[in-house]
């Protein structure tokens, strides 16, 4: 797997994967009003806004997944459908953790996204709290209940 910083040419594939993955992971748990705002165009806009913090994983020229980092937060983490269950997520998580660097890191997981929560726990992330979490939308901030997972990375574990 080749992991590299995302470039402008990656935007359409990242946005499509993000949109699909978000619906797959959040569609049953997110409030209907938020789901209605999560259009393909919104993910395209968000991908452009976060491109500098995005890394993509490719296998044989195909996008296998991506992650975004915002400070100490693993902001987004998605694996393409064709690669789910193949071990790519574990390898990509190791790359994301390396990119995060040392110290206490965190990620937010929508309450009810049980599949993702199980993966994070399997990867050594610890459920620290359930918190209100502000997500971005084209209509402005939207607050959801989120599980906050934490993990201490680096030599001082």
Note down the domain range covering 102: 2-153
Q: What CATH number does residue 52 fall under?
A: 3.40.630.30
Task: Give the residue among 12, 32, 20 at the shortest CA–CA distance from 78.
Answer: 20
- The answer to whether the beta carbons of residues 12 and 43 sit under 8 Å apart is no
Residue 152 has pLDDT above 90, yes or no: yes
pLDDT single digits (tens) 85-118: 999 999 999 999 999 999 999 999 999 999 999 9
As a whole number of angstroms, the distance between CA 77 and CA 55 comes to 10
pLDDT at 37: 93
Confidence of residue 130 (pLDDT cuts 50, 70, 90): very high
Residue 72 falls in which region: left (phi positive, over 0), alpha (psi -120 to 50) or beta: alpha
Q: What's the pTM value of the predicted model, to 2 decimals?
A: 0.94
- The answer to whether the beta carbons of residues 36 and 138 sit under 8 Å apart is no
Task: Give the residue among 12, 18, 3, 97 at the shortest CA–CA distance from 59.
Answer: 3
Residue 157 has pLDDT above 80, yes or no: no
- The answer to whether the beta carbons of residues 153 and 145 sit under 8 Å apart is no
User: Going edge to edge, which strands form the sheet with 126-135?
Assistant: 2-5, 54-59, 62-70, 73-79, 103-110, 142-153, 126-135
Using alpha carbons only, give the angle 110, 113, 118 rounded to the nearest 5 degrees.
115
Mean pLDDT of the chain: 95
Instruction: Indicate the burial class of 80 (C-beta count within 10 angstroms; 0-12, 13-18, 19 or more).
Output: buried
Number of domains in the chain: 1
């Amino acid at each position: 797997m080749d992991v590299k910083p995302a470039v402008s040419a990656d935007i359409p594939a990242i946005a499509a994967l993000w949109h699909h993955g978000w619906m797959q992971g959040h569609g049953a748990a997110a409030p209907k009003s938020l789901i209605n705002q999560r259009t393909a165009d919104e993910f395209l806009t968000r991908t452009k806004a976060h491109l500098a913090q995005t890394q993509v994983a490719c296998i044989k020229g195909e996008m296998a997944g991506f992650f975004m980092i915002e400070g100490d937060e693993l902001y987004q983490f998605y694996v393409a459908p064709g690669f789910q269950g193949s071990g790519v997520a574990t390898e990509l998580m190791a790359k994301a953790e390396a990119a995060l660097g040392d110290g206490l890191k965190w990620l937010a997981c929508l309450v009810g996204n049980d599949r993702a929560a199980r993966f994070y726990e399997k990867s050594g992330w610890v459920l620290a709290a359930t918190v209100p979490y502000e997500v971005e939308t084209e209509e402005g901030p939207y607050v959801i209940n989120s599980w906050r997972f934490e993990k201490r990375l680096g030599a001082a574990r």
